[in-house]
Amino acid sequence: MKNKTVSSIGEFGLIEIIKHKFAKLNYNKNVVAGIGDDCFCFKAGKNTICITKDMLIESVHFKKDWITAKDLGQKAIEVNVSDIAAMGNVAPAYAFIGLGIPADTPKKFITDLANGFKAACNKYKMTVAGGDTVKADKITISVTVVGLTKNKIVKRSEAKQGDLIGVTNTFGDAGAGIALLYKHGIKYKYSQEERSLIAKQNTPNARLNEAHKIAKYLTSLTDASDGLYISIGLLTKNSNIGADIYTDRVPLSEDIKKVFREANRCLNFALFGGEDYELVFTVPKSKAKIVQKLVPQVTYIGEINSSKKVRYFHNGKEQKIKYLGFKHF
């Protein structure tokens, strides 16, 4: 009898096991968002404390040749701040950095990495609260960011029928950037547009200011770390509701259109590429205009329906969309 392994049950199977074990374990009235949201959030007096944690492992999440140590340090902070932004008007306050480092790592790599952490923490005026340094076979970066707010947080679970679905900026560049690196490596002579796609992969910017401006109008919010398709799936599933998405409205950059040309290829990167770290949210129709005025880079790409299904339309015609994303295991 063959024993089941993680690779046979898959990443989602694994997350289900963990989720099931810990579902609401010792939850109390102070917990305001938990497993299944971008941050874990609890009340302490008048403050809500939001905590997020992300692990980046060499060869799994990055290749040392494809990103500078400084960019890597900055990115590790940005992706966590993006999770804080995904809770709404929350201020990132403290960062903890856990490092697993192979013994043959050059000292310069460590100082560059630390400079990256520092630059990003300065950008957000965050306190670096230390962490742990251990030996490892692969560079392992485990960042925890703590955010604070006295405002109501915006969860993934309160999208309402009739709400519009909005996104910030464009989608697909980061996924296209990593695809280029997989195809040609780092030493290839890339065009300016291609370099710009790679930069989107390596130097993401959390949409914190945007989240702060519009949070109070939103009914649900997440960040698109695993691609638009997954984000929309999370908002609708957690809100127990469906959506109609108009894929022809998904915003694409001039760069990706120049490099990949065919609309379909660009759209695949937007839906499944991941790592765009843009905001994906729902807003009552009555508030859609003010949100777009506050953040002009907002595009509405669909609306919440009552079907409990997510339907995709392209130029008015329903499309069957199959998940093509990255599989961890």
**Which residues, 32 to 51, sit near a copy of itself by CB under 8 A?**
34-36, 40, 42, 44-47, 49, 51
Rounded to whole angstroms, the Cα distance separating 166 from 286 reads: 13
- Residue pair 304/165 in contact by the 8 Å Cβ criterion: yes
Which of residues 5 and 306 has its CB atom nearest to a copy of itself in the complex? 5
End-to-end CA distance of the chain: 22
Instruction: Pick one of 63, 66, 91, 98: the residue that binds a copy of itself (CB under 8 A).
Output: 98
Does 152 bind a copy of itself (CB under 8 A)? Our answer is no
Instruction: Pick one of 21, 29, 183, 189: the residue that binds a copy of itself (CB under 8 A).
Output: 21
Which of residues 53 and 64 has its CB atom nearest to a copy of itself in the complex? 53
- Residue pair 175/271 in contact by the 8 Å Cβ criterion: no
Rounded to whole angstroms, the Cα distance separating 236 from 215 reads: 18
Which of residues 15 and 321 has its CB atom nearest to a copy of itself in the complex? 15
Per the rule left: phi > 0, alpha: psi between -120 and 50, beta: everything else, 177 is alpha
Instruction: Pick one of 68, 115, 157, 297: the residue that binds a copy of itself (CB under 8 A).
Output: 115
- Rg of the Cα trace of the chain? 20
- Residue pair 247/314 in contact by the 8 Å Cβ criterion: yes
Does 27 bind a copy of itself (CB under 8 A)? Our answer is yes
Q: How many residues bind a copy of itself (CB under 8 A)?
A: 82
Does 112 bind a copy of itself (CB under 8 A)? Our answer is no
Give the CB-side neighbour count of residue 218, counting CA atoms within 13 A.
34
Span 262-281, contacts to a copy of itself by CB under 8 A: none
Does 114 bind a copy of itself (CB under 8 A)? Our answer is yes
Does 101 bind a copy of itself (CB under 8 A)? Our answer is yes
